[in-house]
Every structure is written in structure tokens, then in C-alpha cells.
Chain A
Amino acid sequence: MINLVIKYLTGELTPDEKKLFLLSVTEDKTLRNELTEFNQILGHLSLLPQKEDNQKALRSLKNFLTEIENKKDRE
């Protein structure tokens, strides 16, 4: 079952598999706990710095500040 939990969390289940999986999770507390646990791991992983973070942040910051300026102009 761990295979399915991981495939679900990594977006690898087909729509039908996902439907069945979610039904099983509703009925199976152990499976639900496994899902919560692995989801937490992915949460921790998401907070690790990655090599393209700086470029992404810079690009997004420029857009963000432009939006703020535009908003000010509109007001």
C-alpha cells in the first residue's frame, strides 16, 4: 500500500486509481496515517533550498513590485 501512497503524493496515479485510492484511505485509518506521514516528508523536502530558487525569486519579485506599482497608479 505504501507504493500507492507514494504514487498518489507524487501525482503518478491515473484518475481511476486515484478514485480507488481515496476511497481506501477514507476507510483505512492506517493508510490515512501513512499518507499523513509521507505528506509531511514532502512538506519538509519542499522547504529545502534549490539551485534555481534565486532566479525564480528574482523574476517573481520583479513582477510583484510591478503589480504593486500598477496598483498604486490605479488608485
Chain B
Amino acid sequence: MDFTQIYMSFYPKLVRFATVYVVYEEDAENIIQDLFLGLWESKDSLKYIENINAYMYKLAKNKCLDHLKHQMVKDRFVVNAQTLYEQEISLKLQSLDNFDVEPGSEERVEKIVTKAIDSLPPKCREIFIFSRFDGLKYKEISDKLNISVNTVETQMCIALKKLRNSLSLQLN
């Protein structure tokens, strides 16, 4: 894969990935832009990378970890900054540190997740897709489907619990 192909394949999903693990969404795009800038500078050696999926996921994970650690240190220098922000960073760090896709298993994980989403009850799947893939807030989903926010909340819980069960059964 050359640089353009890698950019086209990975940019949007890595921005989404970073968004999950940083506190402020706007940081996610900067982190991934920075990642690609580094990649551009060494673009001639990209052809030697054997497993580009694993390489890119690892790179994104490390970039996010560096960012979180940097924010944590920066926050400590601000007076009265033992804040919720620091707590959030610490939790994100812990979660990201535990995130791993074994090299070579990326496609399998993708299939398992897709299958788990497909097996959700129709209404539940619709709500889940609106929330996770279309980025709608619970209120927007409730307006769109003419249901209560509580129903959206309940269906999201059902969906994520089912996904958790499918993933833990099939990945472990």
C-alpha cells in the first residue's frame, strides 16, 4: 500500500478511534493528522510494513496514549487542576492501555462486531446505528422515531450488553 491508499483506508476510522479515547473530540483529528504527517515523512519505507492494519492501529493507540499522558502532566501544572478532567484522562488511559487487537485478527474482529450488530432486534439495531454511526443524540433519535428518550436509553443498553456478550464469547 502506498501513502494515499493508507490515508484513504485508515484516516476516518482512526479519527473515530481517537475520538473514543481522548477527552475532547477536536484533539482526535489533530492527533491523527500528526500521525499521518509522521507517516508522510517516512513514506518510502511504508512498502516494507507487513501487516498494515496492526501497524496503523498500534500507531494510533500509541499516539493517543502519548497525548493523554502529555495532557495529564500539563494538567498537573495548572493550579487547582486536580480536576474531573484529570480523572477522565486517567480512565481513558486505563481503557486505551487495555485495548488490543491481536495482529492478524483485525478482520475477524470486524466480522464478529458486524455480525453482533446484525443480530440485534430491528428496532434496537436502528437506534444503535443512529447513535453510534450517525452520531445522533438520544433526544434526536427519540424525535426521529417518535419514541421516548427512556426507550432510546434502554435500547442502547440492550445493544451494548449484547455486543459485550458476543465479543467476550468470541474473542476470548
Contact = CB atoms under 8 A, between A and B. Distances in A.
Interface of A: 2-3, 6-7, 10-12, 18-19, 22, 25-26, 32, 35-50, 52-54, 56-58, 60-61, 64, 68
Contact of B19 (A6, A36, A46): A46
Contact of A47 (B4, B17, B92, B161): B17
Chain B interface bracket (under 10, 10 to 19, 20 to 34, 35 or more): 35 or more
B99 A43 contact: yes
Contact of A46 (B17, B98, B131): B17
Contacts of A18: 84
Contacts, number: 111
Contacts of A48: 13, 110, 113-114
B133 to A, nearest CB: 6
Contacts of B92: 39
